[in-house]
Structure 1
Amino acid sequence: AKAGNIGLCIGTSGPAGTDMITGLYSAAADSIPILCITGQAPRARLNKEDFQAVDISAIAAPVAKWAVTVMEPYLVPMALQKAFHLMRSSRPGPVLIDLPVDVQLAEIEFDIDAYEPLTPFKPAMTRAQAEKALTMLNAAEKPLIVAGGGIINADASDLLIEFAEISGVPVIPTLMGWGAIPDDHRLMAGMCGLQTSHRYGNATMLEADFVFGIGNRWANRHTGSVDVYTKGKKFIHVDIEPTQIGRVFAPDLGVVSDAGAALKMLLDVATEWKTAGRLRDWFGWARECQARKKTMKRKTHFDQVPLKPQRVYEEMNKAFGRDVTYVTTIGLSQIAGAQFLHVYKPRDWINCGQAGPLGWTLPAALGVRAADPDRTIVALSGDYDFQFMIEELAVGAQHKLPYLH
């Protein structure tokens, strides 16, 4: 296992495949590449009431980038080649390959030396698009960058910080983009939204007149009322997935691009413009955002008994410091965690963003531990979330995967 790499899930036929559906949906919604492989009845017994024979590829298709039952042994290498290409191309996501048992047992000729993986498709912002975007940015008085999870997927957090610093534009991360810029960075303006938000982040978003979204989805937990969110603002939306542009609302400029490629081009052009004196300075606006960040904080220091959760999160910040990874999925523990905890690095906030299934946190924490044995990992759950998949503690004990829950 490796952080940011493709995940692997293998199961037998029937219920093993159907039990993967929630995981597939969660992975698809959060742009996580996972290869799921299921067993299947022999080809001759399909559609003949064989034990645990179910059309899992049809069931999985709506929540996967691709789902297929491979009916010929010689097609297995090509199916795997296509699967890895799709998982890495454009918006990452899961695939499912279903293998009848006789296909699994067949022997085929395969020349590994002649095999070449397909190059993933990653659209990139052009210079003309970058110049158009920066021209629109230059016309703004109170601009913001909304940093989505696509920036973390592209390992482009450093580019985001460089672009924010050279332009002087404050950054509001989404919940999936939290950690792309450190919480204590002078240009980190807080999160906004319905639940997992900061008071100063919401106030800053309402004040803004221009929003530059990069690698984000405009999900409703971030936007709240779209009419209120968009009122009086111009928008640029950069996303690797073409169907995301205009899905929630129409931006003034939409660009289909990998977040890393877009930030690299924007940084190059912005650097040239800065040197030539063509890029505006938003120092006053950034200072105003910073002032809100200092004054519009929720109270955490409560001394009464029983202990308030706000105080618990305050003490967690003190105890764990900057070098900790939080894992959580849904509920008040997650909402309060996003309101009161601090995150300083990419992938130090591991969260199930769109689906939010109960039980996700415990196995996810074990996965984070397997991917990075040296991290300090703290999982946040309510009692229902913890008990939903409590049997996974046995897996953690068996494979010696310690973490704090």
Structure 2
Amino acid sequence: MPRMTAAAAAVEILKLEGVEQAFGVPGAAINPFYRELKNVGGIAHTLARHVEGASHMAEGYTRAKAGNIGVCIGTSGPAGTDMITGLYSAIADSIPILCITGQAPVSKLHKEDFQAVDIASIAKPVTKKATTVLEAAQVPGVFQEAFHLMRSGRPGPVLIDLPIDVQLTEIEFDPETYSPLPVYKPSATRAQARKALQFLLDSERPLIVAGGGIINADASDLLVEFAELTNVPVISTLMGWGVIPDDHELAAGMVGVQTSHRYGNATFLESDFVFGIGNRWANRHTGYNLDAYTKGRKFVHVDIEPTQIGKIFAPDFGIASDAKAALELFVEIAKELKAEGKLPDFSAWAASAQERKATLLRRTHFDNIPMKPQRVYEEMNKAFGPETRYVTTIGLSQI
């Protein structure tokens, strides 16, 4: 059996799990890991100017392409505490990132040693799991479990804290026999899918609410296909924005407070059935008056995380399922129903949503001096076109 340091084994596992890029800032307690990152090779590293920045870089890297998992690395103490904001952002938006921190020697952890902060306890509320590894032989298993957790169910971040003596300890590890753990994702049954679609068949003014779970599942094409098959308008949540093009005839805008459209809210209030897929009914979407949001309409909720079903309000029917697995069934059954002539004609309802979209637009053209921000954005859109992406550092600009 090959022998290597626990830090070298950890780097080998990162490569075998598909990691190609890491972000971070070196420091004394994590330098053994950095040395192995260089010696083993195969993983690019971007030096951040601040460890909190590294955590956000890792999150952005994960978001940029399906299948990525961003990794951020820092030393003991302040590096871990600086990562907390990035970890909170990642868990709130269901983004898998792996944070690796250095730590004081195991024997010093409870002696108020220099920078020997209990980062695992601090990070626990904002991660799927946070672990300080006390035995070098456990390093391969802890890293293997981390990738399993990040990819299974509702995605999210994991933190692994490595005492410096654990990193330096030699262990037996054979990269050639390593294999990632199978990813667990619940799947809807055909019976569940048929029952969910029965709500659609029984409605007159249905809406699909498309959440970020559809993006995580790489199922945007399936969502659009399902919407087109059924001719049902689609409301995107903030995390689901982009699953259907904004100029698609079935794109009905966004709902809620702040990041919403007048026409989206108006269409929602006219609906009698809401088909939520991969969303979590966040209060930016529902607003604070749940009675106004739920009154007069029925709900089906599909989410990969079972504990999300009924968390905000009780749906009429809930399904714990990966969005892609559910949408595959919805598309299959919708095709069967269409062939049998059993799909209702929602064309008039879809047309009314488009009419609201064309008439209930937020005003942007102002001649005021000083110039209003709405006019600034109007001119920016004219100058740069629809494919330009903007990044802001304050929420009010987005709103």
Same fold (TM over 0.5): yes
- Corresponding residue of 1:243: 307
Report sequence identity in percent: 72
**Counterpart selection for 1:22 from 72, 79, 85:** 85
1:223 aligned onto 2:286: yes
Residues 64-93 of structure 1 deviation map (CA, whole Å, 9 limit, x = unaligned) = 000001111111111100000000000000
**Which residue identity is paired with 1:7?**
G
- Corresponding residue of 2:94: 31
CA 1:37–1:319: 2 relative to 1, 3 Å: same
> Per-residue deviation at 1:36?
0.4
Runs of 4+ in 1 over 4 A off after TM superposition: none
> Per-residue deviation at 1:328?
4.0
Equivalents in 1 of 2:312, 2:358: separation in Å? 32
Equivalents in 1 of 2:300, 2:145: separation in Å? 32
- Corresponding residue of 1:347: none
**Which residue identity is paired with 1:148?**
G
Match of 1:188, SS state, is: coil
> Per-residue deviation at 1:299?
1.3
**Which residue identity is paired with 1:197?**
S
Equivalents in 2 of 1:32, 1:26: separation in Å? 8
**Counterpart selection for 2:156 from 80, 93, 97:** 93
Match of 1:327, SS state, is: coil
Deviates more, 1:301-310 or 1:81-90: 301-310
> Per-residue deviation at 1:125?
1.2
Match of 1:326, SS state, is: coil
Any residues of structure 2 matched to 1:30-109 within 5 Å, and which? 30-109=93-172
Residues 214-262 of structure 1 deviation map (CA, whole Å, 9 limit, x = unaligned) = 0111111111111100000000000001111000000001000111111
1:160 aligned onto 2:223: yes
Equivalents in 1 of 2:394, 2:84: separation in Å? 18
> Per-residue deviation at 1:201?
0.4
Equivalents in 2 of 1:325, 1:243: separation in Å? 34
Equivalents in 1 of 2:128, 2:345: separation in Å? 43
**Which residue identity is paired with 1:195?**
Q
1:263 aligned onto 2:327: yes
**Which residue identity is paired with 2:370?**
P
Match of 1:294, SS state, is: helix
Give the structure-1-normalised TM-score. Answer: 0.81
**Which residue identity is paired with 1:252?**
D
- Corresponding residue of 2:341: 277
> Per-residue deviation at 1:115?
0.6
CA 1:215–1:326: 2 relative to 1, 3 Å: farther
- Rg larger for: 2
1:113 aligned onto 2:176: yes
- Corresponding residue of 2:395: 331
- Corresponding residue of 1:338: none
Equivalents in 2 of 1:197, 1:205: separation in Å? 11
- Corresponding residue of 1:128: 191
Equivalents in 2 of 1:263, 1:319: separation in Å? 38
Equivalents in 1 of 2:191, 2:71: separation in Å? 39
> Per-residue deviation at 1:98?
0.4
1:320 aligned onto 2:388: no
**Which residue identity is paired with 1:30?**
D
- Corresponding residue of 2:27: none
Equivalents in 2 of 1:329, 1:272: separation in Å? 47
Equivalents in 2 of 1:322, 1:136: separation in Å? 36
Equivalents in 1 of 2:292, 2:249: separation in Å? 26
Match of 1:25, SS state, is: helix
- Corresponding residue of 1:234: 298
- Corresponding residue of 2:251: 188
Residues 356-381 of structure 1 deviation map (CA, whole Å, 9 limit, x = unaligned) = xxxxxxxxxxxxxxxxxxxxxxxxxx
Equivalents in 2 of 1:258, 1:307: separation in Å? 46
> Per-residue deviation at 1:330?
4.3
- Corresponding residue of 2:74: 11
> Per-residue deviation at 1:329?
5.9
Match of 1:108, SS state, is: strand
Equivalents in 1 of 2:229, 2:282: separation in Å? 28
**Which residue identity is paired with 1:271?**
K
Equivalents in 2 of 1:211, 1:330: separation in Å? 31
**Which residue identity is paired with 2:396?**
L
> Per-residue deviation at 1:319?
2.5
> Per-residue deviation at 1:213?
0.4
- Corresponding residue of 2:352: 288
**Which residue identity is paired with 1:331?**
G
CA 1:294–1:332: 2 relative to 1, 3 Å: same
CA 1:253–1:328: 2 relative to 1, 3 Å: farther
Equivalent residues, number: 335
> Per-residue deviation at 1:320?
2.7
Equivalents in 2 of 1:166, 1:316: separation in Å? 36
- Corresponding residue of 2:14: none
Equivalents in 2 of 1:328, 1:281: separation in Å? 42
**Which residue identity is paired with 1:238?**
V
> Per-residue deviation at 1:307?
1.2
**Which residue identity is paired with 2:211?**
G
Equivalents in 2 of 1:90, 1:25: separation in Å? 18
Equivalents in 1 of 2:107, 2:396: separation in Å? 50
Residues 334-367 of structure 1 deviation map (CA, whole Å, 9 limit, x = unaligned) = 10xxxxxxxxxxxxxxxxxxxxxxxxxxxxxxxx
**Counterpart selection for 1:298 from 362, 373, 376:** 362
CA 1:26–1:198: 2 relative to 1, 3 Å: same
1:199 aligned onto 2:262: yes
